[in-house]
Amino acid sequence: MDPNRSPDLARTTLQLLALAALIGTSLWIVRPFLVALIWAATVAIATWPLLLHAQSWFGGRRGLAVALMTVVLLLILVVPLYFAITTITGNVGQITEWSKSLATLIRSQPPVRVGRARG
C-alpha cells in the first residue's frame, strides 16, 4: 500500500461528498420553484414558433417580437383572471348565502342495500 495514495483518496472522497452536498442543497432550495420552471419551459417551447413568426413579421427585430409575445401572453393570463374576479365580487351575496346553507345541510342516509352489502 502506497502511503502517498491515501491522502489523495481521502481528498477525492471529501471533494465528492462536498459536491454531492452542494448539489443536494441546490435541489432542495430550487424544489419549490420546479413546477413553475417546468410550466415556463413548456410555454416557451410551445410559443417558440409564434415568436419566430412574429419576428419575421417585424422584419427580423427580436425585441419587438418578444414585447408582442409578452403582452399577448400576459393578456391570456390577465383577462380571464379579471373576469373571474369580477364575477366573484359581483356574486358575493349569493356565495355567502350558499356557504351559510352548507352549515345546515343534512345528509341523507345511504340506501338499505348498502348496509346489507357489508354484513
At 108 the pLDDT is 83
At 117 the pLDDT is 60
Number of CB atoms found within 10 A of residue 34's CB: 10
At 118 the pLDDT is 55
At 26 the pLDDT is 96
Count Cβ atoms within 10 A of the Cβ of residue 65 and give its class: 0-12 exposed, 13-18 middle, 19 or more buried. buried
Q: How many CA atoms lie within 13 A of 99 on its CB side?
A: 6
pLDDT digits (tens), the chain, 119 positions: 555 556 688 899 999 999 999 999 999 999 999 999 999 999 999 999 999 999 999 999 999 999 999 999 999 999 999 999 999 999 999 999 998 888 888 888 888 888 766 55
At 99 the pLDDT is 87
The length of the chain, given as a count of residues: 119
